[in-house]
A and B are shown apart, each in its own frame.
Chain A
Amino acid sequence: MTEINDQLLEQFFQPAKNVELEDNGFTERVIKQLPDRALRLSHWWTFFCVILGVVAFFVFRGWEPIMIGLMSLLKTNIGELHPIPFFMTMGVISCLAVIELVQKLERSQI
């Protein structure tokens, strides 16, 4: 069996000890490649909200106020603002604004 010369080995490997490798953009490359969980979560959140909206539309007979609104719009003078379609439009805009706000907040956490 060969005798192990620990001192010889220590001396041989000494130059390689405590060698600091420069970063040289390594960390940035790693961070860029990380999976974007927050963005994926926000996509799921949007998808969930859309599904919820579609289900609510059918459960609460969402087409009825739309039809009433359209019929009323046809009966009233053009240019006159009718309350039902006006409130519906405002509701849709508000929902979209809330979704966008949530997405922005999630992105800003990164």
Chain B
Amino acid sequence: MKSLSDISLVAQVAVFHNQRAFDQLVRKYQSPVRRFLLNLTLGNEALSDDLAQDTFIKAYTHITQFQGIASFQTWLFRIAYNVYYDYKRKTHPQPLSEREGSGHSIEQGLSTPLTYREGTGVGLDIHAALAILKEEERACVTLQLIDGYSLEEISKMMDMPVNTVKSHLRRGKEKLTTYLKNNGYDGNK
């Protein structure tokens, strides 16, 4: 039912350029998309909102390319990841896969407004922990452990084979487990 109403709204946007229908789609999906980008940017709220805005504008201008095979949310997340990937490529020409997470400063994330963390009780530890991961590992871990997507969905969103997603997840989880244990996190915090 959810996807049916999404398809109906998408059709109205694609055929009639109906901005009211698109308004409904943005309201519905702004939170997951912004949260995903907020985690990728390690809590940089201003940057993640700019990237989320670009994501929705791209979705609007390329709405006819949505084929309805995957869900609209999966399609949006794929655009969001591409927008983030393009941003990182522009700002850091080094390929994402060759870049260690530590290169992306934790301080950058911590120095930005903390609405997300304050409002939700999410501690600084989550973004600090995500900062030790490579970009692709962070995206995979975020999508699985925070947003609850399956391997197949993550594979579609990031446009990479399922086995590659598995590898990123395994490496990311290993690093995180070590990090948490080294920092005395035992799950009873």
| Chain A residues with a Cβ under 8 A of chain B | 1-13, 15-17, 19-23, 26-27, 29-31, 33-35, 37-38, 109-110
Question: In the complex, which residues of chain B have a beta carbon less than 8 angstroms from the beta carbon of A3?
Answer: 177
Q: What B residues does A31 contact at CB under 8 A?
A: 19, 22-23, 26
6 shortest A-B CB distances, which residue pairs? Answer: A2-B174, A11-B187, A13-B145, A4-B173, A21-B31, A27-B26
Say whether, besides A6-B173, A9-B177, A19-B35, A34 and B19 are in contact (CB < 8 Å). yes
Contact A37 B23 (CB under 8 A): no
Q: Is B139 an interface residue (CB 8 A)?
A: no
Q: Is B123 an interface residue (CB 8 A)?
A: yes
* Contact with A1, one of B56, B60, B145, B174 (Cβ below 8 angstroms): B174
Q: Which of A7, A11, A20, A109 contacts B16 (CB 8 A)?
A: A109
* Shortest Cβ distance from residue B35 to the other chain A in the assembled complex, whole angstroms: 6
Residues from chain A with a CB closer than 8 A to the CB of B35 are 16, 19, 21
* Residue from B27, B31, B126, B170 within 8 A of A16 (CB atoms): B126
What string of 1s and 0s marks CB contacts (under 8 Å) between B153-189 and chain A?
Answer: 0000000000000000010011111101100011100
Nearest CB of chain A from residue B167's CB, rounded to whole Å:
13
Q: A16-B120, A23-B27 are in contact. List 20 more A-B contacts (CB 8 A).
A: A3-B177, A4-B173, A5-B180, A8-B181, A9-B145, A12-B125, A12-B187, A15-B126, A16-B146, A19-B120, A21-B31, A21-B35, A21-B38, A21-B116, A27-B27, A27-B30, A30-B26, A31-B19, A35-B61, A109-B18
Interface residues of B, Cβ cutoff 8 Å to A: 16-19, 22-23, 26-27, 30-31, 34-35, 38-39, 49, 52-53, 56-57, 60-61, 116, 119-123, 125-126, 129, 145-146, 148, 170, 173-178, 180-181, 185-187
Distance, CA A12 to CA B141, complexed state (A): 12
Q: How far is the CA of A26 from the CA of B129 in the complex (A)?
A: 28
Q: Is there an interface contact between A23 and B30, defined as CB atoms closer than 8 Å? A: yes
In the complex, what distance in Å separates the CA atom of A22 from the CA atom of B49? Answer: 12
Shortest distance from the beta carbon of A84 to any chain B beta carbon, whole Å? 43
